[in-house]
Structure 1
Amino acid sequence: MLAARELMVGHLTASYLRLKPSSRFYTCMPLYHGAAHGLCITPTIHAGCTVVLGRKFSHRTFWPEVVASRADIIQYVGELCRYLLNGPPSSLDRAHNVKMAWGNGMRPDVWEPFRQRFNIPIINELYAATDGLGATFNENRGPFTRHAIGLRGLIWEWRNGGNEARVKMDVDTEEIMRDERGFAVRAKVGEPGQVLHRLDPAMLGTAPAYYKNEGASVGRRIKDVFEKGDLYFPQIAEVNVYGVQIPHTDGRAGAACFVMVEGLSIEEFDFKALAKHALDRLPRYAVPIFLRVSGALEYTGTLKIQKGRLKMEGVDMEKAEVVGGGDRFWWLEPGGEEYVPFGKKEWESLKNGSVKL
């Protein structure tokens, strides 16, 4: 069943990208991941075209390999495009033959600068999951559809709208939010949330499932979304902030980990201005209470941000690695207007309850 699905995805992707035998498709993604083998290798086999493999991603080798291979399509995932954009200018920036960047995770602040600097006319963004039931696509060529992970027009909504929904979610627990009746709350345009796809109970035997793990398969299904008895499969949205648990406090407190721009020291960073910027634009409850300044963020093998360790360590000085040249913390004290250093003394005040958020 899995092999048949892979072949079908490869055939449809090859057709969608209009691959020809003369196409040259560059990827430096790990082949064990669906992005490389499902959205690059398999489509090129169907089209009978060329795959150009990079051993691993590096902004030093990326453009030399692309130029030397005469690739006309490049694949990106996650933060790859931001890394390239942050790299030093090079004579190879526009010396390539690339006509399309194909992938997912292109950030809005990277999208147009990336296109302009590297002169790539088409940014083809998709959103999908290996174990999902649907996908979105956006073959973007100009300002109208930029920054979007997909397009849903009137005809699509007429034919498929009843089988897909976008609902609000708690970004910390990643659970869908429900109203007083216990049903999911639909997300408005521009609001973050989860994409759900309707499952026909009679077709559960052919639905995506985890190998020899019924519990995980069932855990991905959500019942009673908009009415009793309905069944949906979620695709989890990514977020760039995380919540931390604080003693004597319900829920989680907002936190953000960031890396400063190259060449800027902590002493030069304006924490007061950052607090003012956030407080002027966000309600107080939405402003991160804690900041973690790190030398580098952690990423998965496909360049997606790792949040697990950060959430587990929180702001517990015994768990977080802040010894010798490590990460450092700041916080917005209750009622405060400026981010100030946060250390063991402040952590103990939260632990013993002498300071409450």
Structure 2
Amino acid sequence: MGLKAGPNGDRWYVCMPLYHGTGGTTALCCLVTGITCCIGTKFSTSRFWTDVRESRSTAIVYVGETARYLLNSPPSELDRKHNVRAMFGNGLRPDVWQRFVDRFGIEVVGEFFNSTEGVMMLFNGSRGPFTATSVGHQGLIDRWRFHDTYVPVEIDFGTGDLIRDPKTGFCKRKSYEEGSEILVRMPSEGAFVGYWNNPEATQKRFERNVFKKGDLWYRTGDALRRDADGRWFFMDRLGDTFRWKSENVSTAEVSEALGSFPGIQEANVYGVEVPGHDGRAGCAAIYIDPAHRNKFDFNALLAHVKEKLPKYAVPVFLRIQKKQTTMHNNKQNKVPLRNDGIDLRKIVERADKEAREQGQEEVEYDTLYWHPSALWAGKGVEKDERGYVVFTMEDWDALRASAGGGATKL
């Protein structure tokens, strides 16, 4: 990234958790190279650029949705009044990348991809639109070197299992352009340090006899693709991809399409179980800019995603969030949302519980919308031409009744 050490060198602002990979490795990098490390107490959207200016930092660190939160803040005449020329991290979404660079005047984006386990590493020092939005870039020589080391393999996205030929027992290699889960060839088990005091979890990462008898591979759990120019693009995390209408739906692809619609500040996509239907329907928990809420056009949103996505990937449900929620490392947390599903009772109960724990008297509940026509299959849901409409308890009961379940009282 061209950062320079020494008293008159670069100053790297780090406000990400130091126990987390990105913040921790950045701080250690500063320690061993002599680059000045400016440590912020915690990430704060309102304080971020003030801290950067006061510390005279020339580089910043981001993780997950950090850049989106900064981009969602109101524009200011101070947006470019800083010394930052480089940013380093992972998880910079494609729908955020160029807008962030243009608004804040960033010269270099050091986006990397690296499993926490340290087995696979990609880096993209992007200085322009050619490599923008990719998580890594390999030139011709590196593409040749890693051709049989980083390998996409065919998997069952429903079960997460590798698909093996019933006759040979071996797996099928996918093309880099199409992409799939990436396996990493291992010289021995010792090349992966393993999980602390958890040999069972460590062994689950290994696959043997994949392409030939006796070979050993590490499962990354991440689906990526690489184009003919050597640019790597993140597709999805294994477990996030879900099956709907007999097709694999990439949550990353859907999030990107939703995030490019005016007024949507964040989109967290996951699959939900629907009574009487196979697979999982797409659901997107979206946070709408407060300035757009009263005039938000859901029909225009539906038209937008239909244009951007294949029919099967268009979200059936939308969960309109009252507040943004992430984990401690600024990454999106799908688990509680996926557990709630489209059961309105669970949504209300969890909101009530969180309010009690935080001592809040008033509770704000997320609103669920759905696109009825997307589910219509003669199972108790009348086909209509409406777009996204509010999903009610009566709708939930109708779905459950059509699948043979009883009604639920809220």
**Could you say which TM-score interval applies, normalised by the shorter chain?**
0.7 to 0.9
State the alpha-carbon separation in 2 of the partners of residues 132 and 222 from structure 1: 17
TM-score, L = length of structure 2: 0.75
What residue number does 1:56 align with?
Answer: 42
* Aligned residue runs from structure 1 range 203-242, under 5 A: 203-227=188-212, 229-235=214-220, 236=222, 237-238=236-237, 239=252, 240=255, 241-242=269-270
CA drift at 1:232: 2.3
TM-score, L = length of structure 1: 0.85
Matched, 1:247 2:275: yes
Deviations 1:312-352 (A, max 9, x none): 11001221137753111111212544122112111111222
Unaligned runs of 5+ in 2: 223-235, 238-251, 256-268, 353-362, 377-382, 406-410
Q: Work out whether residues 167 and 176 of structure 1, in 8 Å CA contact, stay in contact via their aligned partners in 2.
A: no
What residue number does 1:9 align with?
Answer: none
- Which deviates the most, 176-185 or 337-346? 176-185
Q: Work out whether residues 275 and 403 of structure 2, in 8 Å CA contact, stay in contact via their aligned partners in 1.
A: no
Q: Work out whether residues 166 and 194 of structure 1, in 8 Å CA contact, stay in contact via their aligned partners in 2.
A: yes
CA drift at 1:281: 4.4
CA drift at 1:89: 2.5
Matched, 1:325 2:325: no
Unaligned runs of 5+ in 1: 1-15
What residue number does 2:258 align with?
Answer: none
**Structure 1 residues 339 and 225, CA, compared in 2 at 3 Å: closer, same or farther?**
farther
State the alpha-carbon separation in 2 of the partners of residues 116 and 280 from structure 1: 26
| Structure 1 counterpart SS, 2:112 | strand
What residue number does 1:258 align with?
Answer: 286
State the alpha-carbon separation in 1 of the partners of residues 2 and 161 from structure 2: 34
Q: Work out whether residues 169 and 192 of structure 1, in 8 Å CA contact, stay in contact via their aligned partners in 2.
A: no
* Aligned residue runs from structure 1 range 328-343, under 5 A: 328-333=367-372, 334=376, 335-337=383-385, 338-343=387-392
State the alpha-carbon separation in 2 of the partners of residues 149 and 180 from structure 1: 31
RMSD of the alignment, in Å? Answer: 2.6
**Structure 1 residues 91 and 72, CA, compared in 2 at 3 Å: closer, same or farther?**
same
* Aligned residue runs from structure 1 range 1-357, under 5 A: 18-21=3-6, 22-38=9-25, 40-167=26-153, 175=160, 178=163, 183-184=171-172, 186=174, 188-189=176-177, 193-200=180-187, 203-227=188-212, 229-235=214-220, 236=222, 237-238=236-237, 239=252, 240=255, 241-265=269-293, 268-321=295-348, 325-333=364-372, 334=376, 335-337=383-385, 338-353=387-402
- Aligned pair count? 335
- Which deviates the most, 95-104 or 159-168? 159-168
Q: Compare the two structures and name the one with the higher strand fraction.
A: 2
Counterpart residue type for residue 346 of structure 2: K
Counterpart residue type for residue 302 of structure 1: N
State the alpha-carbon separation in 2 of the partners of residues 305 and 187 from structure 1: 29
Counterpart residue type for residue 331 of structure 1: W
Deviations 1:168-217 (A, max 9, x none): 666676x266376572552553x5643321123xx213413100111111
Counterpart residue type for residue 23 of structure 2: A
State the alpha-carbon separation in 2 of the partners of residues 167 and 24 from structure 1: 42
| Structure 2 counterpart SS, 1:71 | coil
Identity across matched positions, percent: 37
**Structure 1 residues 184 and 343, CA, compared in 2 at 3 Å: closer, same or farther?**
farther
CA drift at 1:229: 4.5
CA drift at 1:227: 4.4
| Structure 1 counterpart SS, 2:52 | helix
State the alpha-carbon separation in 1 of the partners of residues 133 and 313 from structure 2: 23
Q: Work out whether residues 347 and 365 of structure 2, in 8 Å CA contact, stay in contact via their aligned partners in 1.
A: no
